[in-house]
Structure 1
Amino acid sequence: MNRIFNTFLIKTIGCYINVLSYIFPKMATKLAYKFFSEPRAGKLKPEFMPEILEKATIETVSLKNYNFPIYKWDGNETKILLIHGWESNASRWEPMFPYLQKSGCTILAIDGPAHGLSSGDEFNVPYYAEFINTVFQKYEPQILIGHSIGGSACLYFQHHFSSISLEKMILLGAPSDLEILLNNYAQLLGLNTKVVQLLNTYFFERFNIKTDEFLGEKLASSLVIEGIISHDIDDDVVLFLESKKIASGWKKATFIETKGLGHSMHDKTLYEDIEKYLFTS
């Protein structure tokens, strides 16, 4: 019953935005973008922190209109930065921690815009990439690991900022094309082509991004570092072929195909393979 109600509510919102697009296009654009960019889960409260994050040193950083935390687990001079995905937070990396900590490295993590302890209610890849760049300017990590849309933010970051400290990057279940994300969103709400075009215009005017040119393959083609791309063939959130697109542009990446992990990609064997790649190769 709840599922039927939620579907009805979503379609009703989409219908309302469609009507607005012909009468008040600016209002329709604002509302459509709000529902696209505002996460409904993943926030944390300081008084109810996951145990793994309580063990970290937490530094709050200000960037433009945002405040966001940098979590730090001290170790040696090798530094890894972890970037979570949509409607998540830095605690999602807890299953991977034992494999990364074997090397004694220093681990860093952040909460993305409007996630975890970060302020705001808007999430987008350009802002997330600026968060990542802020950490790189301060700590100069050598390794970057991103999950889901966090992986896209990692690609966007290195494509635009070209950090000289970055040596290896790991992408797990990352989407490739912004246009696909927008089309899936439009299909979910039942948005008409006028609203989609309004969103395309909005992305270009605000972020200087042409949605049909925001392609993982294109971003990855500028990478000169080595890394791993891994995706599960049973992923029902981001299509397996999305990572294949990224791999076609990133010539120095090793592709690891998994099965049965879903979108989370949490898996002992996969993490052992990543540990071996990062610290013994």
Structure 2
Amino acid sequence: MKPLIKLLSAAAPNVVVNIAYKKILKPQVFKLRPHEVEIIQQAEEKSITYKGFEVKTYKWGSGKDKLLMVHGWEGQAGNFSDLIQMLKDYDVTIYSFDAPSHGYSSQGPTTMFEFSDLVKYMLETYDIKKVISHSFGSVGTTHCLANYPFIMDKYVMMTTPDRFMERIDDVAEMVGMTNKVKHRLLNRLETEFNVAANEQNVSDFIQKTNIKEGMIFQDINDKIVRLSQSESVAKAWGKNCQLIKIEGTGHFRILRTETVLQQVIDFLDFDKN
């Protein structure tokens, strides 16, 4: 594929831009494991209409404390099934959603801005003060918290990207595009969404938030979100954040590792039933 992309980069650069553009805005939808499907089926499910999408939202439990779970790119609410199962012993109500073009929500091009808007909707609608996000979910969550005056008690990131330009570089490397074509892609994204790409960074967003306590979990050998990215966000976050470095979970198994999830629960400080 890469040799073909390199050839097209010279002969038909706009074709390559379109391929990369779709890669950035159109996530793949992966099947849930049987256990994850079972947990989703146990939820109180609602559909909301948002920007032409039918977005699925979920609720588990009816405890006095409230928690919002925000999945990552190409993820879905069911990815938190192990944590949801463990939290059944605690006095908490859990909320989540499948972002546009993710999970059981309807399909179409989507961005971090849709994640951000839906986080805002959930926090406002259900008066939630504690949040956990996985990977790209941290981008949309921090963008929301940076732009609206929410005061959060606790926030856990299960890994976090940082700079949007790193995402562009990763896509460019993945498909094999030249620097010239990469700049065309950047120009298209900046024009269509009226943003400066180099300003879309979690380490910038997090400094504008009002979060009492934060924690970042990061596998040191994560091949999708590098340790340096979480370190950069933790440094920008400052004294209210603790970075927990772990090993042996990778990028996805971190959400299914009981010892890690128990640390998350302990930090979130829910009462037991």
TM-score by length of 2: 0.89
**Which residue of the other structure, out of 30, 37, 41, is the alignment partner of 1:54?**
41
- Contact 1:43 1:114 (C-alpha < 8 Å) held by counterparts: no
Superposition pairs for residues 62-141 of structure 1, below 5 Å? 62-141=49-128
Higher relative contact order (CA 8 A, sep 6+): 2
Partners in 2 of 1:87 and 1:280 — Cα distance? 29
The structure-2 alpha-carbon separation of the partners of 1:102 and 1:186, relative to structure 1 and needing over 3 Å to count, comes to: same
Which AA in structure 2 matches 1:144? Answer: V
Higher mean C-alpha deviation, range 139-148 or range 96-105: 96-105
- Contact 1:15 1:191 (C-alpha < 8 Å) held by counterparts: no
Q: Say if 2:186 is the partner of 1:200.
A: yes
Q: Say if 2:149 is the partner of 1:162.
A: yes
- % of aligned pairs identical? 24
Q: Say if 2:258 is the partner of 1:279.
A: no
- Contact 1:43 1:88 (C-alpha < 8 Å) held by counterparts: no
The equivalent residue for 1:253 is 241
- Contact 1:143 1:167 (C-alpha < 8 Å) held by counterparts: yes
The equivalent residue for 1:227 is 214
Partners in 2 of 1:249 and 1:276 — Cα distance? 24
- Contact 1:18 1:191 (C-alpha < 8 Å) held by counterparts: no
- Contact 1:173 1:230 (C-alpha < 8 Å) held by counterparts: yes
Report the CA distance between 1:202 and its aligned residue.
2.3
Query: How many matched pairs?
Result: 265
Report the CA distance between 1:19 and its aligned residue.
2.9
- Contact 1:233 1:240 (C-alpha < 8 Å) held by counterparts: yes
Report the CA distance between 1:18 and its aligned residue.
5.0
Higher mean C-alpha deviation, range 133-142 or range 171-180: 133-142
Report the CA distance between 1:231 and its aligned residue.
0.3
Partners in 2 of 1:18 and 1:140 — Cα distance? 52
Report the CA distance between 1:55 and its aligned residue.
0.4
Partners in 1 of 2:111 and 2:31 — Cα distance? 16
- Contact 1:74 1:105 (C-alpha < 8 Å) held by counterparts: yes
Gap runs ≥5 in structure 2: none
Q: Say if 2:192 is the partner of 1:175.
A: no
SS at match of 2:128: coil
Gap runs ≥5 in structure 1: 1-8
- Contact 1:43 1:89 (C-alpha < 8 Å) held by counterparts: no
The structure-2 alpha-carbon separation of the partners of 1:122 and 1:241, relative to structure 1 and needing over 3 Å to count, comes to: same
The equivalent residue for 2:8 is 16
Partners in 2 of 1:195 and 1:131 — Cα distance? 32
SS at match of 1:126: helix
Report the CA distance between 1:215 and its aligned residue.
2.0
